[in-house]
Amino acid sequence: MTQNPAYEVIWQVIASIPQGKVATYGQVAHLAGLPGAARMVGRCLSQLPRDTKLPWFRVVNASGRISLPVGSDGYLRQVALLQEEDIAVMNGRISLAKFRL
């Protein structure tokens, strides 16, 4: 599963995102020491198990939007989880105030 050491770092970075805040894929990649590897972060998350304890829902794209098909299972789950973190999702967009760490 974790053949790529970068995945563990990515997981750590995501786990370090404070509750109530969100980060972009690019940010996570950068903090993980992988500048420009935003796609790898997305790929990493796509492989996460449904029962993961990782706060994957705190990761959104640079546009401040959820990078999942609108209305999809994961999309709805992410929105719900964010709501519990005090992060409002208005018109499919995350409040800029809570953006970044």
Binding region for DNA (CB under 7 A): 3-4, 6, 24-27, 34, 36-43, 45-46, 48, 56-57, 59, 61-63, 67-68, 74, 78
Which C-beta is closer to DNA: that of 19 or that of 39? 39
Q: Which amino acid belongs to residue 81?
A: L
Query: Phi, psi at residue 67, to the nearest 5°?
Result: -85, 55
In angstroms, give the least distance from the CB of 46 to DNA.
Answer: 4
Strand, coil or helix: 17 = coil
CA–CA distance, 90 with 70 (Å, rounded to integer): 13
In angstroms, give the least distance from the CB of 45 to DNA.
Answer: 4
Q: Encoding tokens for residue 24?
A: 């972009």
Which C-beta is closer to DNA: that of 27 or that of 87? 27
Yes or no: say if 40 and 59 are a contact pair by the CB < 8 Å rule: no
In angstroms, give the least distance from the CB of 12 to DNA.
Answer: 16
